[in-house]
Structure 1
């Protein structure tokens, strides 16, 4: 939603007229911004690249227009998502953090200047105790990912944006009747608006197994539909529709005061032309919290590779003519023609699979993933007739010249990862696939 607003407002400014500028000022003035920089502390993770990381939070406040949804005191962030946008618009990933995760919450400053001491508790309590800046500090301390901005949306704002989009498509496998959530749905594919959309993403007991993790999956499927709708090229060609969406969206979001026009223009340039197929949603890997069956904790072994990939996601290099390795005097073949086996010789759990996944995403045909005894150096070995395939692999994994191997199968390449690593060209570690991830271009009914 924020990306689409940034693109549309940038288009308005390109008009260059006083009318366009006035229109932009009116919309920009509707965004409620808050200064949180002095509440984030000095022990923040370093910024390692020029990607954009935005912490998105859904507030359950019952104040003002939200009073119709109950009388609960205070507010919590029951939905917390870290949106990572790769440099150059190469892709985007939204990482959901379950509200019931047991975490170490660092010391945080409240708006009134008082300080809450560090404690161990549920993730959503950080927001209720000290606002969005405390959730920001907590996610940064857990992931070591530098967050650039935050955006908060409440119940009323959510409904306004969904309605301004003309509704969002969902799919359910059976009729739903939940009076508590004011949710009444027929079975199958349908478009929901306002209260029905809010009830769909909030309900826990008539859809799924009643867990927060299951509700997150439904919210991710809903967001995938929003992405498909918002990337529809027809959105910017209808002035009335554009105005309604921009006005609803800018009135609905609460953000940090450093989310300025220049930042929004950078965001717009990163998202311009991004298709739904480049956007995916995942949930941070978790495991049972032994002291309470209703709580979870991060599975650090599975979560850390995801966090590391986000931290090290760098700008892809400019395309360059394909060189011919001097030692081989052969032309590299396209990645689709490379049959490759990837083997881990380091003892680092999952390294071969993560590298294989990254090669697969680049078009290589991975035929085997396995382990070997300790290897000090990374090697690219090839069998008879696979010189071109090895040359292509050497371009993808630079710094490791290829060599023929008498025991290799004809036509195959073997990447043996040693202790010196196997970093792929074009930036940091590829963002690994996460079990249960949802891509925004999928059929909304595919998993019902």
Structure 2
């Protein structure tokens, strides 16, 4: 009899412990906040890596910077051939040498170091996943500036210019297309157009995408370090992204070949791309910031010194910041002391933001400066105080 009482007491004690543990588990679960939801609640910047894979290697990597406070965002293209001194490998190599398809954390850590910004989350799509995702969304709308004619996988490819709706296979062909006769900027623009169209289409079809059975099919095409619940919150935010006003930027650099490997070394040892990211993040926090204006400003750059190629090299700096350089050339004089920005658009705030890219302190209005006849919104005249990156005293 005493033994029965002891057994019942032990059983009762075990039940109490189980109830306490279960209650604590439920309490902790209720207190646990999804990381994406927490970032949105706190209006924190969301930095997300978007990676497109082919055969286990990245063929496109975009850093999406998104501010949930105003649904504004920017895309920064990181070329896979970006050349760096990779300390963990003890050699100079392409950044994608660090890529592991099972876990791209090391690859992303190097991009974080290069851009001086934290990248906590990633989304990876392989080519088949992109094709199937596009088909699930019933196509993606894109604007093709120049018609595409080529041969891919032994088959002729033709995509007409203009606004078109592409299915999964054609979208895959579009992003694969490389025209050696066209500038690299067009290839980058094509990659960014695909990612932008994907986000826009997801927003247009959000009522369909977020049905339980559809979303599970949609989400499993992506690999990520986020849970399915977090992915739901993330895609919900991306559906709100103002895709028509995404700022498009790219990492620029100097191409070189090292031991037979073509590399693109970032300008100024990465200082330029870090400046681009810093300015972009600051601008996205302000819905009225000129750096996230709806308009892509056009500029003309004139070399007022005897240094050859200065205007062209400076053009690459401004292209990295998202400006459209419509013309480069020489100023009427090669003996200009001070660099200046000429505002032909009539927007002092925009002129100031542009001038700050090279730390130029002289800004003049077009009414005060003779026109060169250029059609650009702004004219930049480089003087002797410009060292190739900044204006110095």
- TM class by shorter-chain length? 0.5 to 0.7
Which residue number corresponds to residue 60 of structure 2? 79
Does the alignment pair 1:134 with 2:102? no
CA distance in 1, matches of 2:155, 2:210: 27
Please provide the CA RMSD for this pair. 4.6
What per-residue deviation string (whole Å, max 9, x for no partner) do you get for residues 267-288 of structure 1?
735x564322332322112222
Displacement, 1:106? 4.3
CA distance in 2, matches of 1:274, 1:168: 16
CA distance in 2, matches of 1:150, 1:121: 23
Does the alignment pair 1:217 with 2:189? yes
Q: How does 1:110-125 map to 2 (within 5 A)?
A: 117-125=89-97
Question: What TM-score, normalized to structure 1?
Answer: 0.49
Q: How does 1:43-442 map to 2 (within 5 A)?
A: 50-61=44-55, 75-107=56-88, 117-128=89-100, 131-170=103-142, 171=144, 173-174=146-147, 176-180=149-153, 182=155, 184-189=157-162, 190-204=164-178, 207=179, 209=181, 214-232=186-204, 235-237=205-207, 239=208, 246-257=215-226, 259=227, 261=229, 264-265=232-233, 268-269=236-237, 271=238, 273-289=240-256, 291=258, 294-300=262-268, 301-310=271-280, 312=282, 364=349, 366=351
Query: Secondary structure, in 3 states, of the residue corresponding to 2:69?
Result: helix
- Are the aligned partners of 2:152 and 2:173 in contact in 1 as well (CA < 8 Å)? no
Query: Secondary structure, in 3 states, of the residue corresponding to 1:88?
Result: coil
Question: What TM-score, normalized to structure 2?
Answer: 0.55
Query: Secondary structure, in 3 states, of the residue corresponding to 1:201?
Result: helix
CA distance in 1, matches of 2:65, 2:279: 11
CA distance in 1, matches of 2:245, 2:279: 16
CA distance in 2, matches of 1:81, 1:172: 21
Displacement, 1:124? 1.5
Displacement, 1:127? 0.6
- Are the aligned partners of 1:288 and 1:297 in contact in 2 as well (CA < 8 Å)? yes
CA distance in 1, matches of 2:233, 2:247: 22
Moved more, 183-192 or 157-166: 183-192
Q: Which runs of 5+ in 1 are unaligned?
A: 1-48, 62-74, 108-116, 318-348, 379-448
Displacement, 1:240? 8.2
Displacement, 1:129? 8.8
Q: Which runs of 5+ in 2 are unaligned?
A: 1-42, 288-313, 324-340, 362-393
CA distance in 1, matches of 2:266, 2:108: 17
Displacement, 1:213? 5.3
- Are the aligned partners of 2:85 and 2:93 in contact in 1 as well (CA < 8 Å)? yes
Give the greater-gyration-radius structure (CA). Answer: 2
CA distance in 2, matches of 1:187, 1:83: 29
CA distance in 1, matches of 2:117, 2:352: 33
CA distance in 1, matches of 2:351, 2:99: 44
State the structure with bigger RCO (CA 8 A, min sep 6), 1 or 2.
1
CA distance in 1, matches of 2:108, 2:218: 22
Which residue number corresponds to residue 384 of structure 2? none
Displacement, 1:305? 1.3
Query: Secondary structure, in 3 states, of the residue corresponding to 2:117?
Result: coil
| Count of aligned pairs | 269
